[in-house]
Amino acid sequence: MNKNRFEIIYSVAIIIVIPLLLAVNTLYLVTNIRKDYDREIRSRAELANSVMATAFLEDIEQQSEGLQAKVDQLSSTQAELSNIRVVIRQDNSYEVLARSGSDEAVNANDQLQYDIVFNRSLPIAKSVQSFTNEGRPTRAWSVATPVVTADNKVIAVVSSEYLTVDIEEKFTRTLTQSIVIMLVSAVLVLALLFHHFRFIGYAELLRRQKEVNQTMSDFLSVATHELKAPMSIIKGYIANVSDGDYGVIPDEAKKQLNVASAQTDRLKDLVQDLLNVSRIEQGRLQLELAPTDMVPIIATIVDHYQTIASEKNITINYQPPSASLVVRADAGRLQEIFTNLIDNAVKYSRQGEVTITHEVQKKQIATSVRDTGIGMNTEERERLFQRFYRVKNDDTKGVSGTGLGLWIIKQYIEKMGGNISVDSLKNVGTEFRVTLPTTNPDPQPPKNNI
């Protein structure tokens, strides 16, 4: 049996079984509620008869005419009590001393019940069909209770019917509500289960998509590795030709070679970014976390970009602090992080300045890279760290990039236990803030920090 057929059979079985379980559960609950109601009503009926037997004892002993008055009062005030009788035994027959109904005769069933009570000196109860005062049929508990004197002699029997009309109404409401809830639940469950067939298809599509993504990721990893070697060779040959190893090169040819070299570097960076993406997605990114002084790393990057920045009339402000700022990080990845941030700051600024500052916090060091560039609006800021996302507007037309750099360094920073945030205003500037954990529990604040 293939997987798809099994899933279909499984789904059909669920569609049948779950509504069936709901129905069985509802039936079970209703049956138990009915039993609980019956026990409660019987207990009430027996208690009512016991109270009447005690209350009537003196009147029965004295054959008082007030007995009938008490029966009438109970019958008129207690709507749930019906057919109240007080009987005594005369030889082999029974005489009714007081009653609430018009039927004075004692039939065979009543006589059998009274015999049992007299002989055993114990109350008995049974479920019977009766009628309310309005003539509506209802269930009732017929109870016969012995009237016992102080010397434990049974002198009479008090019988009555305790109507269940109120309880029956409550039970009917409960039953109706249970059935409605069961039907609604069954409909909802069936609707969900019918959608399960669609979910099976979605799950299969997702599985295939994962396979495709894995294949693409594997291909990307292999391709980027294979591209690195020929690019290095091309770069080397361009350098050799430019240096005159194969003869004098005209100035115009040197310009073209420089362009080719720059584009090779750009392609190399792209391949490296794709390789990093592949490593991150496959969980193969390895970081060598160790105590690292970030000051010399940032100072080296700033020195590298000073010339590029000055050509655009941009000033890079960074005064290395006198104290070391040691963080727990991978030195190579740390260099990539701040190279990307400083490169973007210079790239997206027409003029002005780029300022790098540090702030020592409790067990953390926050480093800010702030520029006076084109800035971003709210929507652009929210999507900035998404993979392959680049801000596209008139101000960024001439700026190259893949949209991978910020996504990659965000993964690096988070794997180092830090975080990165951005704040920006359109046509005012942008500030990136990188926070990394320090290995020094009480780092000294930097001095002369700009």
Q: What's the CATH number where 429 sits?
A: 3.30.565.10
152 and 217 within one domain: no
- Asked if residue 330 is part of any domain, the answer here is yes
Q: Do 100 and 80 meet the contact criterion of CB atoms below 8 Å apart?
A: no
Q: What per-residue confidence (pLDDT) applies to 358?
A: 94
Q: What per-residue confidence (pLDDT) applies to 298?
A: 94
Q: How far apart are CA 373 and CA 424, in angstroms?
A: 10
Residue with tokens 């059998």: 112
**Last residue of some domain: 249, 281, 313?**
281
**What is the tally of structural domains in the chain?**
3
Residue with tokens 């035994």: 89
Both structure tokens of 257: 């070679």
**Residue 327 β-bridge partners:** 292, 438
Predicted confidence (pLDDT) per residue in 359-405, tens digit: 998 889 999 999 998 888 888 888 888 877 777 666 666 566 667 88
Rg of the chain, C-alpha, whole Å: 47
Of 337, 330, 338, 333, whose CA–CA distance to 291 is shortest? 330
Half-sphere exposure for 7 (CA within 13 Å, toward CB): 14
**Last residue of some domain: 251, 281, 311?**
281
- Asked if residue 37 is part of any domain, the answer here is yes
- Contacts of residue 163, defined as CB under 8 A and 6 or more positions apart, other chains included, come to 79, 80, 81, 82, 130, 132, 138, 139, 140
Q: What per-residue confidence (pLDDT) applies to 325?
A: 92
CATH for 49? 3.30.450.20
- Asked if residue 190 is part of any domain, the answer here is no
Of 348, 355, 343, 342, whose CA–CA distance to 315 is shortest? 355
Instruction: Convert 163-179 to b/e letters by CB count within 10 Å (16 or more is b).
Output: bbbebeeebeeeeeebe
Residue 95: which domain range? 3-163
Of 50, 48, 96, 97, whose CA–CA distance to 74 is shortest? 48
Q: What per-residue confidence (pLDDT) applies to 10?
A: 67
315 and 377 within one domain: yes
- Asked if residue 130 is part of any domain, the answer here is yes
Both structure tokens of 188: 């909802």
**Alpha helices for 131-250 (secondary structure H):** 165-242
410 and 354 within one domain: yes
Q: What per-residue confidence (pLDDT) applies to 158?
A: 92
Measured in residues, the chain has a length of 450
Give the residue ranges of the chain where pLDDT is below 70: 1-8, 10-12, 14-15, 102-104, 132-134, 165-171, 193-194, 196-198, 200-201, 212-228, 282, 392-402, 440-450
**Last residue of some domain: 236, 262, 281?**
281
Q: How far apart are CA 13 and CA 380, in angstroms?
A: 50
Q: What per-residue confidence (pLDDT) applies to 2?
A: 63
15 and 92 within one domain: yes
- Asked if residue 87 is part of any domain, the answer here is yes
Both structure tokens of 221: 């990893």
371 and 274 within one domain: no
Both structure tokens of 81: 């009590």
213 and 142 within one domain: no
294 and 362 within one domain: yes
- Asked if residue 364 is part of any domain, the answer here is yes
Q: How far apart are CA 216 and CA 369, in angstroms?
A: 35
Q: Do 268 and 231 meet the contact criterion of CB atoms below 8 Å apart?
A: yes
φ and ψ of 165, to 5 deg: -60, -45
Q: How far apart are CA 75 and CA 83, in angstroms?
A: 8
Both structure tokens of 116: 């049992």
118 and 69 within one domain: yes
81 and 11 within one domain: yes
Judge residue 9's burial from the number of C-beta atoms within 10 Å of its C-beta, 0-12 exposed, 13-18 middle, 19 or more buried: exposed
Q: What per-residue confidence (pLDDT) applies to 167?
A: 63
152 and 9 within one domain: yes
140 and 81 within one domain: yes
- Asked if residue 77 is part of any domain, the answer here is yes
CATH for 234? 1.10.287.130
269 and 251 within one domain: yes
Of 357, 363, 377, whose CA–CA distance to 434 is shortest? 357
φ and ψ of 194, to 5 deg: -65, -35
The 3-state DSSP class for residue 290 equals strand
Helix count (H) and strand count (E) of the chain? 9, 12
Amino acid at 19: P
Q: Do 361 and 435 meet the contact criterion of CB atoms below 8 Å apart?
A: yes
- Asked if residue 179 is part of any domain, the answer here is no
Q: What per-residue confidence (pLDDT) applies to 11?
A: 66
